[in-house]
Chain A
């Protein structure tokens, strides 16, 4: 049994209520101005996410999920409204957050280990001091034997696990993921879901997760936020009160099917609108 990395160990134990508020948005909107006119990508988005929560965003393509994630991460300025991280305004990327994209974005000239240590180099941290930690995380995502391999020697799922290790090594308070498993086959996706859940749960990491896959959203989350098509607004938030820890068997639970149906109907309202 491999060692689970001890991520975010200073975080207080998570209770059912009274958790610390980590992310808050107030009246967030985003208007893209193009030469042909302007696109309102987000309108008046207000969300609150507590420490250790796993929150998924689902919605039709183009409804502004990626835009929302980019704004929360500090990579993109909002047109109006604010994002608070631990009560402070976000105007630029923060080391408290880790971002994972749909593609692994590995540097092909670096081995797995060196890709995982890239943020350390960039942030001017002590690479040697972090190496054991990086190796622990690489082991935790099941790539121990591949630490010296180059990205092109790995399958898509393995590459995405490297990307996961690259963010987890730095113990982010918040993990932002934009369809991280969207390009993977169903079987690999399931394995990755279990892995992600195990690691983020044990480390108490707050997760913001964007997906097109309703099953995945319900399976992983404490809350599923359903968004409307352009302009993106929050159309509903569903609490997923399935017991944890969850396993593949959880999907047999009748409550699971009900929740999927609920998300689907929340989404469906807009598809035909």
Chain B
């Protein structure tokens, strides 16, 4: 009976000579296409690197030929040297670690909070109807205005910066969690219901995993926001941290050092981003890319 079934996917057991020739030609064509793709890849890579080199050259040349005041924009090599000396200063590790701590704690707490509130809003409609308007209203406020207030409430120490980071980092996680959980296809819910799944099973076998790619996009944004929150908090009032250093060097007009701090902050942002990107690829392997 099985013989009647046309199995389009079964590989044919033996290739006759004509087919074998065709297969060889096919493989050759595929190899050619792959080579061409690889070459195009290289063109783009070289192009991207060239753009970077041009930017660095301009950065170096403009202040050097006095087209831009070197006090406003110190040449690239000077900034590189300032970075090299800055990281060797004995006070530097303390400032770096403090800011890193604020960012990481703010990011983790903000993500946890966003996840928790997002889940509560998505799985419990009465809660959503009660508090969602306030969540949206709160999001409409540019939260930087709270920075001075947080200093007054929580002092000049790390706590006020962490609170700032939490307050702006948690929102993208909250929204993406809620939207992700609510976007479970009706068919998948129906399937689970037809199997008599409990609400808890629906949540952890389907909804949460379905929402995970969307949640993760929010988590990536949360990291960037946590960096902003920590630095803004330090700008407004701090005795230590990279934001404090940046402020200080600005006042002292040591613009090369200020740029060096900016480079370090950019490095932290990029490291976090790529770390999360890597985690995304590893854990959310089913994401459509």
A163 to chain B, nearest CB (A): 9
Chain B residues within an 8 Å CB radius of A187: 6, 8
The yes or no answer to B46 lying at the interface (CB within 8 A) is no
Chain B residues within an 8 Å CB radius of A121: 205
- Report the Cα distance A202→B4, complex, angstroms: 14
- Report the Cα distance A4→B4, complex, angstroms: 13
The yes or no answer to B1 lying at the interface (CB within 8 A) is yes
- Report the Cα distance A158→B9, complex, angstroms: 9
Residue contact B209 to A103, C-beta cutoff 8 Å: no
The yes or no answer to B129 lying at the interface (CB within 8 A) is no
Chain B residues within an 8 Å CB radius of A73: 194
- Report the Cα distance A95→B195, complex, angstroms: 7
Residue contact A194 to B6, C-beta cutoff 8 Å: yes
Q: From A109, which residue of chain B is reached at the shortest CB distance?
A: B286
The yes or no answer to A190 lying at the interface (CB within 8 A) is yes
Residue contact A119 to B10, C-beta cutoff 8 Å: no
Interface residues on chain A, number (Cβ under 8 Å): 41
Provide the A103-142 mask, 1 if CB < 8 A to any CB of B, else 0. 1010111000000001101110000000000000000001
Stretch at the interface among A24-32, A47-55, A149-157, A231-239: A149-157
The yes or no answer to A191 lying at the interface (CB within 8 A) is yes
A249 to chain B, nearest CB (A): 10
Provide the B7-34 mask, 1 if CB < 8 A to any CB of A, else 0. 1111000000000000000000000000
A142 to chain B, nearest CB (A): 5
The yes or no answer to A241 lying at the interface (CB within 8 A) is no
Interface residues on chain B, number (Cβ under 8 Å): 28
Residue contact B9 to A93, C-beta cutoff 8 Å: no
The yes or no answer to A37 lying at the interface (CB within 8 A) is no
Residue contact A1 to B3, C-beta cutoff 8 Å: yes
Residue contact A108 to B191, C-beta cutoff 8 Å: no
A250 to chain B, nearest CB (A): 11
The yes or no answer to B97 lying at the interface (CB within 8 A) is no
Residue contact A142 to B187, C-beta cutoff 8 Å: no
Residue contact B2 to A93, C-beta cutoff 8 Å: no
Q: Residues of A with Cβ closer than 8 Å to B? A: 1-2, 4, 73, 75, 92-93, 95, 97-99, 101, 103, 105, 107-109, 118-119, 121-123, 142-143, 146, 150, 152, 155, 157-158, 187-188, 190-191, 194-195, 198, 202, 245, 247-248
A-B CB proximity, top 5 nearest: A108-B286, A99-B194, A191-B6, A109-B286, A122-B195
